[in-house]
Structure 1
Amino acid sequence: MTASPRRRTLLAVGAALALGAAAAGPASAQSAGAPNPIRILVGFPPGGGTDAIARTLAERLKDQLGQPVVVDNRAGAGGQIAAQTLKASAPDGHTLFLSHDHTISILPQVTRNPGFDPAKDFVPVAGFATFVNALALSGGTPAKTLPDYVGWVRSQGGRGNVGVPAPASVPEFLVKLIGQKFSLDLQAAPYRGSAPMMADMLGNQIGAGVGSIPDFIENHKAGKIRVVAVMGSARQAAVPDAPTFGELGLAGFEDVPYYGLFAPAGTPQAVIDRLGEALAKVVAQPDVRERLTGMGLTVGYMPQQQLASRERAYTQTWARIIKASGFQPQ
């Protein structure tokens, strides 16, 4: 049935109003007192250490900023997908990337076409902590220390698989160097993040794993896995009984990685400053510091330029290690 002229007019007006509302969606919501949410991209699945850290910060940032802050997990390729998402996002302060060293400092050096260049596509907002990577043994592995583990692998024919949360990562290089140091045939088994690696460790599907203390700390405290060696120049308060790799004769892993927030290049400095100030207030809160410290982090606020300097220094350190290893970008 053909609509009357009056009905056609009403339908046209309604369609125009609907299109106008859709186009003005975020701005209209803001003007009505409902600010757009800020999303924090995380390059790993829910349940891992980085995800837990992001959710801890998001919970308090929303109060400091007076707007919703949500965690957006874009897992895959060692954070590469999340980094590419950040690059494609508008530089308006509504999309941030919470990342550690792997995606920012390591991935661009070991991947031929990562799809992003941190120096050109990102701008540091602020850092909030450092941490260490560690070697942990599964509950089903009879060894209690790194020397015990070396002896056990030798008793199994000198070969072993060690889980790592991402390919071509600091943990993978560490596996290679442990094998070289102790004349073992250790093969890194890459996972899509720490959560699936931990699931296999808890199920005794793999005898050992290398990852960050935040990834391991909960299950280490529960006695389900054992952290037996840590990076850094000193033992870690979260696992004081675990010696450093240097103590065990494996030098070169004294420099420790960082955690920070990053924004798309072109984000106005006033926006960066506001976000950085909010983060500083959050990590200064005693209960937040306690929670992050309990996850195995060394909490310490780093303003924008300090994070940028640390990022450059860490990138240079690992450029030398990667080159010496003979690794070719893939």
Structure 2
Amino acid sequence: MNTTRRQFAGLLGASALAAHSPFAFAQDKTIRVLVGFAAGGAADTVARAVAEGVRGHGFNMLVDNKGGAGGRLATEALISAPADGATLLMTPMGNLTLFPHVFKTLSYDPLKQFVGVGKACSMSFALAVGANSPAKTLKEFLDLARKDNSMAAYGTPGAGTAMHFIGQLLGKASKVPLAHVPYRGGSAAVTDAIGGVLPCVITTLPNLLPLHQSGKLRILAISDEVPLSALPGVPTLKSLGYSDLVITETFALFARAGTPTPLVAQLNKSVTEAVQSDKIASLLRKLEYQPQTATTEALDKQLRDEHARWSQIVKASGYAPEDS
């Protein structure tokens, strides 16, 4: 087939546009998804599920675990990368909304340096006691804690975490002087609760649910908006009268601010389609995560709303920010 000079010029123009298109990198370059935690953890599991789903929706994602400093190293690595969409961050939302209020200094500003790409899922937190605990309900636990200080301790994965503040808010609302016991990670706290060393543990629901189902722990309440089918008979803190204790954790993808808007929109479409697919949604539910999606605008609004909410909670608690 012969090509006219005008057609040839048109082809050259199209090629030039493609070379400068924000989508050009995707044709020969895999998107690196930074995860600030070790392989096998919650953020890593969610990131790999999304990456698997996105492969059939226009992009190829490779998870890059960059653990350290509670996820902050991966966040800093995103800020150091070009704003071209080739590097994204999968993170618990709390790393961007709570951390600014519990650390004196951070090397990044989540309200200025990030743009929401897509939401993957959320998870609840739960309060549990050992199987041999006399407390069968949250009221019974609080009554025991009110009468006996040794029963008022609750363990969490660490100071300054969402779980730390859930315990503080519960103690304040119930007028029971609950005592926080910070651990270096949730596993040790769970082990001590199972062994009866720790009266109560507050941590992520996916970590507690298998132990509840096997009878090693007893979940007394969850921090979700509504009860979960996987926990028949287990109430929400809200249903027990603690309306301020609807606190969940969102896992979402973020890019650097300045990433081309058309690319962010296309990534959002791909992530949304992946999470809503039967395969990925079923996988996330099996792991006790609630699949959720959002537009980039809704995700950015959630970031700002939760940032403001945590600011109020942390200030009201009197928590002293730590060095980052």
**TM-score, length-scaled by structure 2:** 0.79
Deviates more, 1:233-242 or 1:285-294: 233-242
1:91 counterpart residue number: 83
Could you tell me how far apart the structure 2 residues matched to 1:311 and 1:266 are?
Answer: 17
Cα distance, 1:92 vs. partner? 2.7
Query: Which segment drifts farther, 178-187 or 232-241?
Result: 178-187
Say which of 124, 129, 136 aligns to 1:144: 136
Aligned ranges for residues 11-30 of structure 1 at < 5 Å?
A: none
Of 27, 38, 48, the residue aligned with 2:31 is: 38
Cα 1:242–1:140 shift into 2, 3 Å: same
Change in Cα spacing, 1:327 to 1:85, as seen in structure 2 (3 Å) is same
Letter in 2 for 1:58: A
Aligned-pair CA distance for 1:307: 0.6
Q: Classify the secondary structure of the residue corresponding to 1:252.
A: helix
Q: Please state whether the residue corresponding to 1:219 is helix, strand or coil.
A: helix
Q: Which residue is 1:294 aligned to?
A: 286
Find out whether 1:62 has 2:55 as its counterpart. Answer: yes
Q: What letter is aligned with 1:250?
A: Y
Structure 1 residue 251 corresponds to structure 2 residue 243: yes
SS of corresponding position for 2:118: strand
Amino acid paired to 2:103: T
Q: Which amino acid aligns with 1:47?
A: G
SS in structure 1 opposite 2:171?
helix
1:72 maps to which of 54, 65, 76? 65
In structure 2, list runs of 5 or more residues that go unmatched: 1-23
**Pairing 1:157–2:157 present:** no
Matches within 5 A, 1:272-283: 272-283=264-275
> What SS class does the counterpart of residue 83 from structure 1 fall into?
helix
- Local SS of the residue matching 2:293: strand
Residues matched between the structures, number: 298
Identity %: 27
Displacement, 1:113? 0.3
2:219 aligned counterpart, secondary structure: strand
Which whole-Å CA distance do the structure 2 matches of 1:221 and 1:206 have between them? 20
From 41, 47, 72, the equivalent of 1:48 is 41
Deviations, residues 135-155 of structure 1 (Å, cap 9, x unaligned): 122345443322232344456
TM-score, with structure 1 as normaliser: 0.78
- Verify the 8 A CA contact 1:109 1:329 in the aligned structure 2: yes
| Structure 2 counterparts to residues 1-330 of structure 1, below 5 A | 35-77=28-70, 79-139=71-131, 141-154=133-146, 156-195=148-187, 197-198=189-190, 200-201=192-193, 206-254=198-246, 256-330=248-322
List alignment gaps of at least 5 residues for structure 1.
1-30
